[in-house]
A and B are shown apart, each in its own frame.
Chain A
Amino acid sequence: MNGLNLIDICAGYGKKEVLRNITLSVEQEKITAIIGPNGAGKSTLLKVITGFLKPTQGSVWLDGREVTASAPHERVKAGVAYFMQGGRVFPSLTVSENLEMGCMRLSPDQRKKNTATVLELFPNLKDMLKRRSGLLSGGERQALALGMVLVSRPRYLLLDEPSAGLSPRLVREALDKVEKINKNWKLTVLIAEQNVRAALGIAHRVCALANGQVVKETEKPEEWLSDGSLEQLFLGIGQGKP
């Protein structure tokens, strides 16, 4: 069982169950988008995969190895990178130190090489390496957060709402980067996104979540933009039709 697989996952917070019996295979080297209305369980799903939330039932498999009980930092070592909602960075550390945190467990040579690659990808960060990251603008901070997860050269990239709080132009730029990285680095990407049109624009496969369950999947996302599937999912329009 290669790649990233979830089998019969149930998870929640306290007594509140958010995910119900989710089984999902994330295809390698492709972009899979998880879409769904607020509270559907998109972020919770990513937390289960990254180990920040332990499922009450089911298992998480990574490259044929069960990682359900592994701590988050162990999953990062196994190649999973997690871009947390809001583009979180360490505000009291400089941009350079933030990037260093992202690849601290690697050898000095590897760190240097990976940092140079990330700075090529986000050239605007080059001029602000010594600046405290708490002073960055929203867009700059988002770029740094993405750089921090990429600097470890992961095999799986999990993105939780990378477009949140960004202007339409910056959303396009951020998702273009994700698409480029997926192609050039052969990276497997799982993206949870509320900006559905933007997500469908780059995804190879889309899973729609509602009430903690996968309600619809497609490998032809572009069709969803025209056939009314999105309205049905988000507004309930068309449900119950013969």
Chain B
Amino acid sequence: MLPQLIANGLVMGCSYALVALGFALIYNTTRTFHFAHGGVYVLSAYLLYTFRNLWGIPLVPAAILTLLLIAFLGVAIDEVLYRPLVKRGSSQPIQMLSSLGLYIVIINLIAMFYGNETKMLSPGVQPTYTVGHIILARTQIVTAVTFVVLFVSLLFLLRKSRMGKTIRALRDDPELVSASGINARFFRWSVFALGSVLAGVAAILAGLDVGIDPNIGMTALLSGAVAVIIGGVGVFEGAALGGIALGLLQSLAIWQTSARWQDMVTFVVLIVFLLFRPQGLFGIRRRAEEMAG
């Protein structure tokens, strides 16, 4: 039973890690606590449901169309909501509240149009694969593989490409990026688009695995945000490893207790980290001069 739970936990962690990577990309770069990331997550799942289940578009084109629209939505949220607030000099709590407000609007609109009941994106029984004592559904394997591919690609993008260096520079000082002759706004758009796509991929895979309802976004967002704190704010790879650690812990909690205590595990972990290791597992303690500069 333990190997199966570990495998399940790892897959669940991969899903959290995708959300966390998107959230971390946006938060670490723009310092925006993007509550609406949860709304983007839910909307992705419902867009796929509309394209595939209601309009009959095959899965792959429907998923691509969903991700394109969700990338555009991410940029639109920044342009319509955050940018005017930043320009007006609004404080972080104001931005957070606005973001939470947008999340609630998205969730309510979805509930209004689609109803509150759970919908299956992939009706019927999924094929399963057995390795030793572990049984995994096809979507679980696709989730794990997708995470590994996206994580490695993202790391390469951030560490080696000029785009990645610019995104890291944007995190340090957006004004200086502009003063270096780079269109900072374009790169900010890219960050919101990419972060939203990562949430979209996670939502599509989770939706295909366990179905969707309008409330899946908050759990995903909180797990992603806690994963970022576990891994260390400001460390992109930390967010992914934090997500996997959280998935494993939740799965092991089921082994000892029951599934309904999963969320409690998330918040106990959050409190423990905030109290005893606020910089997370991989966070770097910076010098005071660096923080000021």
Task: State which of A50, A82, A97, A101 has its C-beta within 8 Å of the C-beta of B182.
Answer: A101
* Nearest CB in chain A: distance from B238 CB, A: 14
Tell me whether A26 is interfacial, beta carbon within 8 Å. Answer: no
Complex: chain A residue closest to B179, CB-CB: A82
Tell me whether B260 is interfacial, beta carbon within 8 Å. Answer: no
Question: Within the assembled complex, what's the spacing in Å between the Cα atoms of A220 and B147?
Answer: 67
Number of A-B contacts (CB under 8 A): 80
Tell me whether B287 is interfacial, beta carbon within 8 Å. Answer: yes
Query: Does more than half of chain B's interface fall in helix, strand or loop, or is it mixed?
Result: helix
Chain B residues within an 8 Å CB radius of A228 = none
Task: State which of B162, B172, B178 has its C-beta within 8 Å of the C-beta of A52.
Answer: B178
Contact (Cβ within 8 A) B293 A104? no
Contact (Cβ within 8 A) B184 A93? no
Contact (Cβ within 8 A) A76 B181? yes
0 or 1 for each of A48-84: is its CB under 8 Å from B? (1 = yes)? 0010100000000000000000011100110000101
Complex: chain A residue closest to B162, CB-CB: A104
Tell me whether A201 is interfacial, beta carbon within 8 Å. Answer: no
How many A residues, CB 8 Å from partner? 28
Contact (Cβ within 8 A) A84 B176? yes
Question: Within the assembled complex, what's the spacing in Å between the Cα atoms of A50 and B179?
Answer: 8
| Interface residues in B259-291 (C-beta closer than 8 Å to A) | 286-287, 289-290
Tell me whether A221 is interfacial, beta carbon within 8 Å. Answer: no
Complex: chain B residue closest to A145, CB-CB: B176
0 or 1 for each of B166-183: is its CB under 8 Å from A? (1 = yes)? 101101110111111111
Chain A residues within an 8 Å CB radius of B181 = 73, 76-77, 102, 104-105, 152
Task: State which of A84, A86, A89, A100 has its C-beta within 8 Å of the C-beta of B165.
Answer: A100
Chain B residues within an 8 Å CB radius of A71 = 178, 183, 185
Chain B residues within an 8 Å CB radius of A84 = 175-176, 179
Contact (Cβ within 8 A) A92 B168? yes
Tell me whether A187 is interfacial, beta carbon within 8 Å. Answer: no
* Nearest CB in chain B: distance from A42 CB, A: 17
Tell me whether A238 is interfacial, beta carbon within 8 Å. Answer: no
Complex: chain A residue closest to B177, CB-CB: A101
Tell me whether A88 is interfacial, beta carbon within 8 Å. Answer: yes
Chain B residues within an 8 Å CB radius of A39 = none
Tell me whether A123 is interfacial, beta carbon within 8 Å. Answer: no
Task: State which of B173, B180, B183, B184 has its C-beta within 8 Å of the C-beta of A102.
Answer: B180
Chain A residues within an 8 Å CB radius of B173 = 88, 90
* Nearest CB in chain A: distance from B173 CB, A: 6
Chain A residues within an 8 Å CB radius of B287 = 134-135
* Nearest CB in chain B: distance from A29 CB, A: 22
Q: Which B residues have a C-beta under 8 Å from some C-beta of A?
A: 162, 165-166, 168-169, 171-173, 175-185, 234, 286-287, 289-290, 293
Closest 4 CB pairs of A and B: A76-B181, A134-B290, A72-B178, A90-B172
